[in-house]
Structure 1
Amino acid sequence: MLPRLEYIRQARIRLGITQRKLAALTGVSTSMINQIESGRCKPSYETARKIFEILGSLEGRTSMKAGDICSRRLISVQRDEKLHKAIDLMRNNSISQIPVFDSSRVVGMLTEDGLAKVMVEKDEKDLKNMQVSQVMEPPPPLVD
């Protein structure tokens, strides 16, 4: 099933292409694209399918991928590190969660929410002696 025809104009504008460019890519006239977008013309199924395929392929090229925003420098802690060291690391790097490793394997996650709960429940003396492994949450799902 194809998307609604109103999507054509929205997608074209979001991609920053003109009606002329879309017409050239799809093999239909600029006038036809204009009429479809304004609702004055209902294209054949084949024409609509071709337009949506072109828009889809263009969106695939411009869409952001995880690798575009990921950092190469991973900030992490080991499970046997002191909790106060992990808190300092999170504060200094302005991060709200940090992966916990056992050697090179992810074994958990330390989050601001988890830390807040522990800080309410424990007194300051206990916190200074706690290890990350005592506070960490289960690891997040991993994507290869």
Structure 2
Amino acid sequence: MVRVGDVAPDFTLRGTDGQLLSQYSLSDYADEGYVILSFYMNDFSPVCSDQVCDLDDIDLFQFEENVSMFGISPDYVYSHREYSRQKGLTFPLLSDTKFEVSKDYGVYDAEQESGVRRALFLVDSDRRVQYRWVAEDNWERWDHGTTEALKDRLDQLRA
């Protein structure tokens, strides 16, 4: 399980920005600044849509300099592409179909229907985890306070 202060495991996953399919590596983006990882159960799930869309809609991170954001779920890139198009998302969605990254980050849960717990991580340019949140219950309603806590931590790091 990855905790605050740990070095975030590097990964390369196939993903989409809603149009193009590409490979995305954590290390490539962490070198440029902060990275937000949003693990979620699956595309088109109501609770996950709240989480993913909240991160996109509230503009806390879209215009932040040197901040990259990725959604990660076990869905395939073609589902991600359609989901991203329908929701108008502005950040890439990555496919962890074999749960390798979910296991590395400690959010894999075989008892969950999707195999993944909803989670957020903030990773700095040294690939150190600076913020971690993991849902106790995947079906619990999304709390905007989680996003605000993530933003507060980012602001503290930049102060």
TM-score by length of 1: 0.23
More helix by share: 1
The higher relative CO (CA closer than 8 Å, separation ≥ 6) is in 2
TM-score by length of 2: 0.21
Structure number with greater Rg is: 1
More strand by share: 2
